[in-house]
Structure 1
């Protein structure tokens, strides 16, 4: 029997399950460090003893300075983000060799704590977008001590060579100093929950480095750990990988370098660490030209991960509003050995629905890049589009993270030409319709919604209880067990969580549930209790 969108007043157990950890978080309880765990094929980021779903806002590259934070934070607060991504600049942190300036880092931590945000720090050092722009002046101005990569013609590139011990040692020392400082000032508070090691690493201008040491390594046999991970037989890089040999080699050398940097930091303060990727997508094919050669793109992923155990996972910098392209890339990185993590996506209204794809894939979070723009109509519209997601999900982020970890959350976004989708919960299913009228029966052939902007998530809270929300969608419940019993709605409540406790705004009945539960542009949160007769 077709049911509708309903929410259960008798779900006190959920309120308790949310309220207890939130209350505990403010008590003088000592928690272990944040960590990434995997259970029954699903990943969770654990922060202060609870699964945590990241709703992040990333500052523009040059905004992580103390004088810029008050202005930048206005958009963060307007979004209701629970996490801020902000860079740490090697050139500022170590402007003189061995002298470490922590003022920028300290200002970020203080601002995050004052506004009840978590932090993800981005280490801009040997790489930022496939270049060495953030290396200190004393590194840039001394290529004899700190050699650059060379192209096939022997010309220097804007990349530090991964085969120069001085380059690696300088980066390792600075990163170790950063992690030592974080341990000192944040080792108990855990304001910083993740660290990104480098930024979109790889080489532009060539497929690989041609320094003499690099050429010698390229001619040598492929290392055993690479062969084991890729299932290849021994031989030189060219013998083993053929036309892809140079890109595979550069992936190996880049990953090995970054792993050494991360390993040095983890020995001091073992926060979870990841690397973000400038993707090979949108029909890009040419490493070193279309995208940095040597980053953890999907085609070299196994080579990259064969030598990077200190890196916990790889994030995707996924800039598209095309749902099919977005879904394709998620599929490439949603792996048994890697969680779904959108480390960057475009700050534009069209990316707002795509957050629900991350929910559908059981991801650990979603981050918007460049949120601190000057005031404008475009900025206001973009903040509003994403705040509809963030403000609602931030109020239940613990519930969301737990339900993803337990496999109890399902989600969908509207697809052109597919106005109906079904979420299967075994004995119940929820039919999502993206083009019906606000009230009344649906036409036999549904259109899509006017903006093709629909999305929805449903969380199973218990045998007879669900939590759901959406945008431009109608949700209807149907009991699927063939036992002679019929399904029905017992109660539907609209409300929200405040400080971990459910607050009911109203009960929905009659016209509001007769044809299903309709969500419009401003998403509401609904609890449903179902039953049989």
Structure 2
């Protein structure tokens, strides 16, 4: 019989927490890191798996005086992490002269609100352009040259073939990381750094400066051809119709990798690059999306070119579940985690976090949470994110640990899909239905929830119990009789985890609460369920 060994589990966890506390008192907490163990990625915070649930402010709202007005909206989402830009234009107003007041204010305000922070380096790129480069770079195109179009016209992008461009960005980013180490090296308010923002080229598929033309006509670097399993040849011979985009991707990724490597040499926080995606019906690089960014068509090139970038994030704004899952499938690979760097601030988005969790996502962040004034759509999105983020962050540590071990199962409702089965192993499965009556038998074809946004999360805990929660759904635990044994619920306890990670039971569900499955309404409950046989 599966049984809930509460006492043994609690004592074991208590000793683990006590032991960790004693160890922490004698040595500084370890740096945040992105790890890969037994095929599962994990973002480690203070040496333990942790799930990043992020709220990103609007592009120009990171200025200290403006940020103070954004905090009510940030906190209303129940995110555990703020994503905020650092502007090269502000950081380095004159060559070699740095103003750290902005970063210090970000740190101070984030700590005052007890959140973590991801810094977004708006350096050579923001949305495929150089808008956040310092004035002294924008006004000196001779020293800091721009990429050229096929007709020889200057574009709104710095050329990746310029060592002066690279050196300037690399030096500023290194200064940022060095200051961050001095201000946050033992506190770890900042858990990750995004290097650049949606990099790539608009106005051309590749740079057409003379030195770029020479490089494009030359051989593909041997390390890239070998990594991709291609024979030697020039870019057109190796990549065919995708040659120009692959070439620009290699140059962009190599440039950014050198920036990241310099910063990590002084303070090795995890780094990632976010991606303006190559969506369906968006086919033209340099026009529909920045050419050379880490789109799915050149992701292998990026992985070969940028070893100092720990993750490629997806700016995934698709509310269509099939499209959302397709993109996750493209980027969740052996060499890259499921990392949702941006989603839309839309009430339809938060439920899709459960699809991301089924791919063991390490981060899920939404963009533009601080509209001023907040529209009705903003307020609806705020409530939708708050519901899911608050629930998930309340179980963050056990959930993140389970994600690293493949012990998480999810199901999501969709239009026309009002039933689902989740295989739990050991002869057990969970039958999920959306829109059944709150009490009584489940109809053969449930009606579905009003907005088709029901979802369920099941976590297989180490002691053999299940952690189950959901919204607008019914979960019925079933066991086959292949071994002649019948299944039963021994205990279904509603509760929560306290700050130390101990389970605190609030009540037991029995009778009407379990006769017709476990029913979850608009306000999700957290259940710890022990099943057994007879």
Shared fold (TM-score, shorter chain, > 0.5)? yes
SS class of match (1:44): strand
CA distance in 2, matches of 1:207, 1:18: 57
TM-score calculated relative to the size of structure 1: 0.96
Q: Is the 1:195–1:273 Cα contact (8 Å) retained in structure 2?
A: yes
Structure 1 segments (4+ residues) deviating >3 Å: 6-12, 14-29
Higher RCO (C-alpha under 8 Å, 6+ residues apart) = 1
CA distance in 2, matches of 1:350, 1:11: 41
Aligned-residue offset at 1:265: 0.5
Residue pairs, 1:289-438, within 5 angstroms? 289-373=287-371, 374-427=373-426, 428-438=428-438
Cα 1:313–1:239 shift into 2, 3 Å: same
353-362 or 426-435: bigger deviation:
426-435
342-351 or 237-246: bigger deviation:
237-246
Aligned-residue offset at 1:458: 0.3
Match of 1:187 in 2: 185
Residue pairs, 1:155-170, within 5 angstroms? 155-170=153-168
Q: Is the 2:487–2:532 Cα contact (8 Å) retained in structure 1?
A: yes
Aligned-residue offset at 1:10: 3.5
Match of 2:479 in 1: 479
- Tell me the alpha carbon deviations over residues 169-202 of structure 1, each in whole angstroms, 9 at most, x when there is no partner: 0000000000101111111111111010000000
CA distance in 2, matches of 1:481, 1:48: 45
CA distance in 2, matches of 1:360, 1:88: 32
CA distance in 1, matches of 2:8, 2:139: 64
CA distance in 2, matches of 1:337, 1:51: 18
CA distance in 2, matches of 1:179, 1:288: 31
SS class of match (1:293): coil
**Is the counterpart of residue 52 in structure 1 residue 50 in structure 2?**
yes
Aligned-residue offset at 1:19: 9.1
TM-score calculated relative to the size of structure 2: 0.95
495-504 or 273-282: bigger deviation:
495-504
Q: Is the 1:87–1:121 Cα contact (8 Å) retained in structure 2?
A: yes
Aligned-residue offset at 1:11: 6.9
494-503 or 317-326: bigger deviation:
494-503
Aligned-residue offset at 1:74: 1.0
SS class of match (2:155): strand
Aligned-residue offset at 1:297: 0.3
Q: Is the 1:56–1:84 Cα contact (8 Å) retained in structure 2?
A: yes
SS class of match (1:350): coil
Aligned-residue offset at 1:105: 0.8
Match of 2:519 in 1: 518
Q: 1:61 aligns with which of 46, 59, 62?
A: 59
Q: Is the 2:181–2:267 Cα contact (8 Å) retained in structure 1?
A: yes
Aligned-residue offset at 1:397: 0.7
Aligned-residue offset at 1:133: 0.2
SS class of match (2:425): coil
CA distance in 2, matches of 1:377, 1:232: 53
CA distance in 2, matches of 1:279, 1:126: 19
SS class of match (1:529): strand
Equivalenced residues, count: 528
Q: Is the 1:353–1:453 Cα contact (8 Å) retained in structure 2?
A: yes
Q: Is the 2:456–2:471 Cα contact (8 Å) retained in structure 1?
A: yes
Aligned-residue offset at 1:476: 1.2
